[in-house]
Amino acid sequence: MFESHAPLVFSELHQPRVLEVIPSTTVSRNQTRDATASWSPASNKAAIGASIKYGVTSAVTLEATANPDFSQVESDAFQVEVNQRFPVFYDEKRPFFMEGLGVFNLAGQGDDASMQRSVHTRKIVDPGAGLKLTGTAGRQTFAVLSASDASATGSDRLFTIGRALRNYGNGQYVGALVTDTEHGAEYNRVAAADATFRHGQNFTWNAALLHSASQTVDGHTSSGNGAQVKGQYNTRRLLVMNFVEHFDRGFQMDTAFLNRVGVTRTWNYGEVELYPAGGFAWIKRIAPFAWTTLSDDRTQGGTEFGVMPGIRFNFVRAGQLRLDVDRGHETFANRRFKTGRVHADGRVLITRWLNINGRLERSPSIYYDPADPFGGMQFNRSLGLEWQPSAKLAHSLNYDYVKFNRTTSETVYTVHVVNLRNTYQFNSKFFLRAIAQYDSSKRRVLGDFLASYELVPGTVAHLGYGSVLESVDRRPYMPTTRALFFKVSYLARL
């Protein structure tokens, strides 16, 4: 052992530059048909793509992809899409876009904000090529993403996004975000600034300011501003949050998942947390809460208001229970409707290998027909099971039920959605995945099978098969689409 300490200094140390190249080849065979017709001739396709990752320095990474193929990416779980006022959100699952995606988030997005994502890369539907640069330099963090989207009509749509942050520690920062989408004469450009700061141990706040400039294909220009501010005070016993947002009717952000514009809105949330002891120790926490919201929707021509008191329970065995009641009104197409809900949801870990969750809800609601909306009563039920009988085998099942009745009790629609996912991990390299999904509103069943063998990360072989079955005019379900693919990729470090 050393009796004293002395500094040990190394000089002339250099970080080796890492260059990874992953070429890939995908061979696929696809067939389609109408439910009542014979199969069309098969479409066979072979595609070659490549991804490159280069460590410019130990803190700066450059990534590029050309003709990427994401056949192995898991299908989106079906969701209830009938009678939704706002678009249904689907998470990004493509590896190139997922890595480092969080750096593009603006302060205040998500939760109950209209802006769920400032950069939602699912807007890049069919990427032909992409380039991404991420890194840090001292207190600065920066990222640039550029990609072409071949799904646009005519020429590709080009997305370019830049982000810069100056960090002050403990989650505090000041940042800027710029986005640009170009498609012929059309463009959408947004500049934003945001900040997050803490005051003491309990109070945090964040804010974002945005400005957009856009032009349509016929040369019409528009612009608009947006802003959102959130404050939060949090102790072991008390949680208080306040949020305010505003978006002009002319605001547009093509990279964002933005529910609506032309709105000024606020919501407030307060929660008291109690921790029982003694004979009630099986209840870990009791949290009565209240949530209120008020907004002026200039697009729909009226106001919205809601008040929701409720209570949350946390139990042993990861048990949770939430009960709440909501009352308010909502304006749609210049008409005011009564809204609200009576809601209960919960989950419990029955055993180490079985987790159950569920939801029950009854709510005065709106049928969102822009020409002739009307009020009614909506009923929601859901059940989820996560079952892992062994370390290798895992199942998950999710069922959603929605029913909407007019005030006269006439049923407008009933929807059943089922998502079943099964995986078997033979070893650290080889697994099988099988997915089955059902949506009664589209009268559609999807089946998806994947076998994947990963020798090392990046060197992988995938074999997949997918099919869609549909029912037309109440006829029996018939396959209308089927596809088979084989993909191999190889990681080379240079």
Structural domain that includes position 159 = 87-230
User: Is residue 247 one of the residues assigned to a domain?
Assistant: no
Most distant CA pair in the chain: distance in Å?
A: 88
User: Looking at the predicted structure, is the pLDDT value of residue 494 above 90?
Assistant: no
Rounded to 5 degrees, what are φ and ψ at 19? -125, 120
Tally of structural domains, the chain: 1
Reported as a pLDDT band with limits 50, 70 and 90, residue 12 is: low
Rounded to whole angstroms, the Cα distance separating 92 from 70 reads: 12
User: Is residue 181 one of the residues assigned to a domain?
Assistant: yes
pLDDT in tens, 93-133: 999 999 889 999 999 999 899 999 999 999 999 999 999 99
Residue given tokens 């008191």 in the structure block: 309
User: Looking at the predicted structure, is the pLDDT value of residue 1 above 60?
Assistant: no
User: Is residue 142 one of the residues assigned to a domain?
Assistant: yes
User: Is residue 335 one of the residues assigned to a domain?
Assistant: no
The pLDDT score that the predictor gives to residue 335 is 96
Average pLDDT over residues 146-163: 95
Q: What is the mean pLDDT of the chain?
A: 94
User: Is residue 81 one of the residues assigned to a domain?
Assistant: no
User: Is residue 327 one of the residues assigned to a domain?
Assistant: no
Reported as a pLDDT band with limits 50, 70 and 90, residue 15 is: low
The pLDDT score that the predictor gives to residue 38 is 87
pLDDT in tens, 313-337: 999 989 999 999 999 999 999 999 9
User: Is residue 183 one of the residues assigned to a domain?
Assistant: yes
User: Is residue 40 one of the residues assigned to a domain?
Assistant: no
The pLDDT score that the predictor gives to residue 313 is 97
pLDDT in tens, 28-70: 999 999 877 889 999 999 999 999 999 999 899 999 999 999 9
The pLDDT score that the predictor gives to residue 474 is 78
User: Looking at the predicted structure, is the pLDDT value of residue 17 above 80?
Assistant: no
Rounded to 5 degrees, what are φ and ψ at 277? -135, -175
CB count in 10 Å sphere of residue 259: 15
Q: Are the C-beta atoms of residues 145 and 63 closer than 8 Å to each other?
A: no
The pLDDT score that the predictor gives to residue 5 is 46
Token output for 483:
């596809």
Average pLDDT over residues 138-167: 95
Enter the pTM of the model: 0.91
